[in-house]
């Protein structure tokens, strides 16, 4: 492995760890504020990745490393504990807890977009003719090495958090979009939905469907996000 590939792998991995910890900490923080301190007592209202790694060592440590060398970008998962009795008693509160994770990813997308536009304003970054996951923006030819590194980091931050947000918002179990559906359901429909979510195997089926849907959904959403980032650019 050459130094450039190693540096890119490290950038993807560290960005994944930070973004996922931020996502899970948002879940835990909102749950705490809405009456469920379970994740708080587990130490997960924190950007410190260690509590999240201890809970999901494969999803937070090994899967991101393997996926980079398989796909060229990181893939993994984490979770926070919650009280199912609280969730059943307060389904709307649990739904807001579910939405907190994707909302955290949206915040990081906006942070990355602001950083990219600051670089454009300063004349350090420019919009490439074609975009890959880790070159949403590029540093100009005479920019210092730190500017090139920053361009890669903010590109990964933008793309990775868009992936995490879009995937998690799919309304399929066990994803956050499924957890948010009680905001739209009431009475018998809500109770039937809660009963279905308790059935064994539902989460596995949901993940299989979500993964197959995602590969078709993400491309147009990614293009839309790029065209919002660079108005009039016409990325496809």
CA-closest candidate to residue 233, choices 209, 212, 222, 99: 222
The one catalytic residue among 15, 16, 23, 24: 24
Catalytic: 56? no
Return phi, psi of residue 73, to 5°.
-150, 165
Q: What is the rounded CA–CA span in Å between residue 84 and residue 72?
A: 37
**CB contact at 8 A, 74 and 68:** yes
CA dist list (Å): 232 to 112, 169, 192, 228 = 19, 27, 46, 8
Three-state helix/strand/coil letters over 205-232: HHHHHHHHHHHHHHHHHHHHHHHHHCCC
CA-closest candidate to residue 52, choices 100, 83, 19: 19
Active-site residue list: 24
């Amino acid at each position: 492995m050459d130094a450039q590939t190693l540096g890119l792998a490290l950038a993807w991995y560290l960005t994944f760890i930070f973004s996922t910890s931020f996502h899970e900490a948002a879940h835990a923080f909102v749950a705490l504020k809405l009456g469920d301190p379970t994740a708080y007592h587990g130490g997960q209202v924190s950007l410190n990745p260690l509590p999240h790694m201890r809970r999901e060592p494969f999803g937070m440590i090994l899967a991101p490393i393997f996926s980079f060398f398989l796909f060229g970008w990181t893939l993994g998962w984490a979770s926070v504990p919650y009280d199912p009795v609280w969730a059943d008693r307060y389904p709307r509160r649990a739904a807001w807890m579910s939405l907190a994770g994707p909302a955290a990813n949206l915040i990081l997308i906006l942070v990355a977009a602001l950083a990219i536009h600051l670089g454009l304003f300063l004349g350090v970054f420019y919009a490439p003719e074609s975009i890959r996951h880790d070159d949403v923006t590029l540093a100009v030819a005479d920019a210092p090495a730190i500017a090139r590194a920053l361009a890669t980091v903010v590109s990964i931050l933008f793309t990775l958090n868009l992936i995490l947000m879009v995937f998690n918002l799919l309304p399929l179990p066990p994803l956050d979009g499924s957890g948010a559906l009680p905001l739209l359901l009431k009475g018998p429909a809500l109770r039937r939905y809660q009963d279905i979510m308790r059935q064994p195997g539902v989460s596995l089926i949901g993940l299989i469907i979500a993964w197959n849907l995602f590969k078709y959904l993400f491309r147009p959403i990614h293009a839309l996000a790029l065209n919002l980032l660079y108005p009039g650019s016409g990325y496809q």
